[in-house]
């Protein structure tokens, strides 16, 4: 699969997942589509809660779905956030640390307007 095709497919799936965002408090819907090394795509959306801190980001929902199906190796993730616009929605700090547990420096992060590698967003990972 070419990188251009991979990016457009993943962004399309991220947009679809964004429709399911439960974001009544922030009104900021996010969708993510995660590509496993074996070629499966897992999607996620943000899920908020009246007890605000319990909310979870779209990226971590996608990772949790994939990991709980036995996947531990990943190639890329696409992220779409916000409405009426397709600006870049880079992952929050907590999601970067979460990704770093399972993804190497070259893991691709497809944003609406650009593509970055995990090492660019998270150059100094915490490891035990
Ligand atoms: N959010 C994500 O889903 N992913 C991120 O990387 C950043 C923020 C969600 C959390 C919350 O539901 C809403 O966006 C506003 O912060």
Nearest CA to ligand 1 atom 13: 28
Contact between 82 and 89 (Cβ < 8 Å): yes
Which single residue is written with the structure tokens 């993804």?
Answer: 103
Please compute Rg for the chain using Cα positions.
14
Length of the chain: 128
The answer to whether residue 16 sits within a structural domain is yes
pLDDT at position 117, please? 98
pLDDT at position 55, please? 98
The answer to whether residue 117 sits within a structural domain is yes
Pairwise CA distance, residues 59 & 78, whole Å: 9
Does 14 contact ligand 1 (Cβ within 6 A)?
no
Q: Which two tokens stand for residue 125?
A: 């990972």
Q: How confident is the model at residue 78 (pLDDT cuts 50, 70, 90)?
A: very high
Q: What CATH number is associated with residue 93?
A: 3.40.140.10
Does 58 contact ligand 1 (Cβ within 6 A)?
yes
pLDDT-above-90 percentage for the chain: 94
Residues labelled as active-site residues: 59
The answer to whether residue 127 sits within a structural domain is no
Nearest CA to ligand 1 atom 7: 92
The answer to whether residue 57 sits within a structural domain is yes
Does 26 contact ligand 1 (Cβ within 6 A)?
yes
Residue 84, domain extent:
3-121
Q: How many domains does the chain have?
A: 1
Pairwise CA distance, residues 112 & 128, whole Å: 33
Contact between 45 and 17 (Cβ < 8 Å): yes
């Amino acid at each position: 699969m070419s990188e251009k095709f991979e990016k457009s497919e993943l962004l399309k799936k991220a947009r679809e997942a964004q429709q399911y965002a439960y974001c009544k408090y922030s009104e900021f819907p996010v969708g993510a589509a995660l590509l496993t090394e074996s070629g499966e795509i897992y999607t996620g959306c943000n899920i908020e809660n009246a007890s605000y801190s319990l909310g979870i980001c779209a990226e971590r929902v996608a990772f949790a779905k994939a990991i709980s199906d036995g996947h531990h190796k990943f190639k890329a993730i696409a992220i779409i956030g916000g409405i009426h616009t397709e600006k870049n929605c880079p992952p929050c700090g907590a999601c970067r640390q979460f990704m770093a547990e399972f993804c190497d420096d070259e893991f691709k992060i497809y944003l609406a307007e650009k593509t970055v590698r995990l090492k660019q967003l998270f150059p100094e990972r915490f490891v035990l």
